Structure 1
Amino acid sequence: MASKLQLPVDESVLLRVTHSNLKSFSADVRFSLEMAVESVKEKLWKKCGTSVDSMSLGLYDDTGTKVSDLSDNRRPLGFYSPHDGYRLHIIDLDPSSVTSGGWLEDTSLVEKYKISDEAYDKMDGTVKKFKEKLASQNPSGHESKVAENYMEDLCANIKVGDRCEVEPGEKRGVVKFVGKAETLFPGFWVGVQYDEPLGKHDGMVKGKRYFDCPPLHGVMVRPDKVKVGDFPERDPFEEDEI
């Protein structure tokens, strides 16, 4: 009887990724040890915005000691002997990079459009006018229909730090907030940091910060949209495999 062909096992490692310009950026990412360093950089470029040509990578062990620089783009990641829990630090070498200057994290650096209260009140089709119309149709207030403990029971098994999947779209991430949100409707909310930039904010909603995460990675959703469990970060390269 002919022996079965034994296929090689594609070993992987889970690394904590940080960035020199994005102080709030921190993510646990799984990499194949067979990936070339250049492929690692391409994967990280999609997450942080630093181009492959401008990216330098340093590997640190779990005590914070530098192990090595990933200086050869052609070598596989496994050549540098990373282990689960090690940190992969991105250094952006481009002074004109989109990540430089802190504008991706500091919204105070973005010029804001301002309008006077008087001019806003004269405009039609605004959120304020819409709410006033609802209030006139239902003087008791439409927000009062939502109880203060709305969906509290669904939060019993959801805690900060849990990996999760959010519907619709099966978007994956990590739970960053659970509780009431004073700037949103009554009831309980769950704040999630997506693995990919599929969110709406950086953890600040309507002037209130509920958690910290990279820009466009944060979202606040109702607990019934969140499923916690073993949801590892997806590898974007899996879609190209057959």
Structure 2
Amino acid sequence: MAFHAAAADIPLLITSPNSSSERRITPSWSIAHFKTRLEPITGIPASSQKLTLRVGTQDGTAIEADDEEKTQLSAFPLQAYAEINVLDTRPASARTDFSDLSSVPKYTLPSAQYESRNDSVLAWKKAQKLGRFDPNAPSLEEQKIRAMEREVEERGLTLHSRCRLLPATTDARRGSVAFVGPVPGIPGTAGPWIGVVLDEPTGKNDGSVKGTRYFSCAQNCGVFVRPERVEVGDFPPLGLEEDMEEL
């Protein structure tokens, strides 16, 4: 048999710092009883609750009495869908912030169990052969090489272009692009290197690496850098630029 609330019950909006909900209350409840009913809803202990009733745009009315065990809610101007705000009178340090999830223990499914499930995102990726499950997907090193090749194209790194090394704030060296391509003699990830003939002898070589020559320049005027460290532009030698400023 369905339960029907008594006709005298009144729907009210209950708000607090951490909750907001509609509740039906019985006007014959005492204030003390009402507060015990609010405790599990708001998370505020009954002894620390301060209740305020607001009807429409009217000023709030405090729901309080000298003897809250005997004073009924019917003593206050209750109306359907009026708002009762529950204030927490405890010091801020004693209150629980239910919106802060940093201290809430989180369950992590063990990797073996997750990988064995057939209803996970991982299982879907495996079925669709996406990402690392794509047999034709490039390896991480291949992706890095392709990214560097795109840098060469997007930066317009062509032979004989004037350039400067980056970051310009800490590396003021300038020169000309003399080589673009792989340099097997340099350890690390394969992919294109940019050989630069520097305007001043502040480099590391003469355009050769481990006996293989990639371009020619004076000793210590050559340097090999990755594409992302080179910016092409109208960069005259630093000394010449200063002379032009004096003209």
Fold-level similarity (TM above 0.5): no
Return the TM-score normalized by structure 1: 0.41
Higher relative contact order (CA 8 A, sep 6+): 1
TM-score, with length taken from structure 2: 0.40
Structure number, greater radius of gyration = 2
